[in-house]
Amino acid sequence: MRETIFSENAPEPIGPYSQAVRVNNTYYFSGQIGLDPESGEFVSETDVVLQTQQVMKNITALLVEENLTTSNIVKSSIFLKDMNDFPKVNDEYSKWFKVVFPARETVEVSRLPKDALVEISVICVNDSE
């Protein structure tokens, strides 16, 4: 079974993709950047911590839409405009997990959508199904 996931509490896609897709008990969340879902604007153009906080709020909105939590996240991918921001992003990211951290990679990229400083995508599994 394949289902498209949408939350009004996360930013609308800025291209031809879904916010998230569910296949059976696995959820694939598209990369989130630090856009406020109401205004469609960055919470900050220059502060990677504020952008990371908003990214995690956007991911959480999608989790809530499906009655999931961060403990359902099994894999995340973090894309940074500047690897020098790694310690700040890592510190903020770690605050969102209470139990076990998911598998992850973090890579520096030359450019992100809308010139974001950070983008995070996740894969989740609902073990209760």
Residue 127 pLDDT:
87
User: Rounded to an integer, what distance in angstroms lies between the CA atom of residue 68 and that of residue 66?
Assistant: 5
- List, for residues 34-71, the tens digit of each pLDDT value: 999 999 999 999 999 999 999 999 999 999 999 999 99
Residue 46 pLDDT:
98
The full set of domain ranges for the chain reads 2-125
Q: Is the pTM of this model over 0.85?
A: yes
Report how far apart, in Å, the C-alpha atoms of 98 and of each of 53, 57, 95 are.
Answer: 16, 15, 8
Fold of 2-125: 60s Ribosomal Protein L30; Chain: A; (3.30.1330)
Closest CA relative to residue 12, chosen from 43, 45, 37 = 37
Residue 129 pLDDT:
61
User: Rounded to an integer, what distance in angstroms lies between the CA atom of residue 119 and that of residue 55?
Assistant: 7
For the chain, which ranges sit under pLDDT 70?
Answer: 129
Residue 99 pLDDT:
78
